[in-house]
Amino acid sequence: MSVASTQTKITVADPRVMVQLLGAGDKTLRLIEKALASDIMVRGNEITISGPAADNALAERVFGELLELISKGETLTEDAVRRTVDMLNQGTAERPAEVLTLNILSRRGRTIRPKTLGQKRYVDAIDQHTIVFGIGPAGTGKTYLAMAKAVQALQAKQMNRIILTRPAVEAGERLGFLPGTLNEKIDPYLRPLYDALHDMIDPDSIPRLMTQGTIEVAPLAYMRGRTLNDAFIILDEAQNTTPEQMKMFLTRLGFGSKIVVTGDITQVDLPGGTKSGLRVVQDILDGVEDVHFARLSSADVVRHRLVSEIVDAYEKWDAAQEPPATANVHAVPGRRGGRRR
């Protein structure tokens, strides 16, 4: 039984907006056509969408969101088009134009903002809860967005200091076998945190802020025995904590503080047989008020497109090692092209 084809028309009054929507050499239009099932034709200032009513409704929403992004001064990129379509396909209440224009931090003309629905919900959870766990694969912005929120809170004087910490555990390495002083041995583990800080704060001011104690970057072992008040505290690479270390860290929480714990439970570097504190804590604190678990996926990867595909490939491989009932089956929707005349 064939589905009846219908037509929907969109008129763009401003020629300059139409040029931005279509892109140089109609490049953006071709991206939109590739992402949608409906046929798209453009003549003058009018866009004609042809196809089944449901497909046309999605296409109309996509164009509406992209026009909203343009009205907010955004440049339409391949990434913005793809993420807009992905969000609308999920059928969620949040509008892509709102997600993709939520500014967290701006510095030297560069703005840090969530790029996916999962990232936006993660950022919202940090605003709304005292303890947030950001759990997901590499490239989903777990630590970077948490640090941006920490700097934002510091600049808004909501917090007096930022504390960044990681367990000093990596695959195949032990501190005792590394050359140099203790600080020199620890530095490689903390370097990613320093690098992110340099993206968000004037590098010249970082040594002064660290000397004053406004920003502290230290290994997890340095947290023992402390109570941390009025601080934004981030524990990175938390999959490499033991359950005892995780309990120690979480109980450092003082008045007026916020904790964000980030990690990827598929990349545990602890010695064989040692339980990951990040895995265990999900069962221990599940349902505890003001504690939130934000789970990010390959859909939230904002690195090279291949990173998302690599994450999916590993998930499929892992699922294949389990009984068949636990395997995931992903359907790939069919697509039809379009044309301009």
Which pLDDT band, with edges at 50, 70 and 90, does 306 fall under?
Answer: confident
pTM above 0.85, yes or no: no
* pLDDT given for residue 335 in this prediction: 41
* pLDDT given for residue 316 in this prediction: 85
Residue 58 has pLDDT above 70, yes or no: yes
DSSP letter assigned to residue 165: E
Which whole number is the average pLDDT over 206-216?
93
pLDDT averaged over every residue in the chain: 86
Which whole number is the average pLDDT over 257-268?
95
Got the DSSP string for 230-282?
SEEEEE-SGGGS-HHHHHHHHTTB-TT-EEEEEE-TT---SPTTPPPHHHHHH
| Burial class for 110, CB neighbours closer than 10 Å (0-12, 13-18, 19+) | exposed
Higher pLDDT, 289 or 106: 289
Percent of the chain past pLDDT 70, that is, above it, reads 86
Which pLDDT band, with edges at 50, 70 and 90, does 118 fall under?
Answer: very high
How many residues are recorded in the chain? 341
Using DSSP bridges, classify how beta strands 161-166 and 231-235 pair: parallel, antiparallel or unpaired. parallel
Residue 332 has pLDDT above 50, yes or no: no
* pLDDT given for residue 245 in this prediction: 95
Which whole number is the average pLDDT over 230-239?
96
* pLDDT given for residue 336 in this prediction: 42
Rounded-to-integer distance, Cα 28 and Cα 173, Å:
47
Which whole number is the average pLDDT over 184-197?
75
Q: What is the pLDDT of residues 149-173, one digit of tens each?
A: 999 999 999 999 999 999 876 533 4
Percent of the chain past pLDDT 90, that is, above it, reads 59
Domains of the chain: 6-99 (3.30.1370.10), 105-325 (3.40.50.300)
Q: Number of C-alpha atoms within 13 angstroms, CB side, residue 231?
A: 22
Which whole number is the average pLDDT over 78-105?
89
Which among 3-17, 95-109, 121-135, 183-197 has the top mean pLDDT?
121-135
Q: Please, what is the angle between helix 27-35 and helix 53-71, to 10°?
A: 140
* pLDDT given for residue 170 in this prediction: 52
* pLDDT given for residue 183 in this prediction: 57
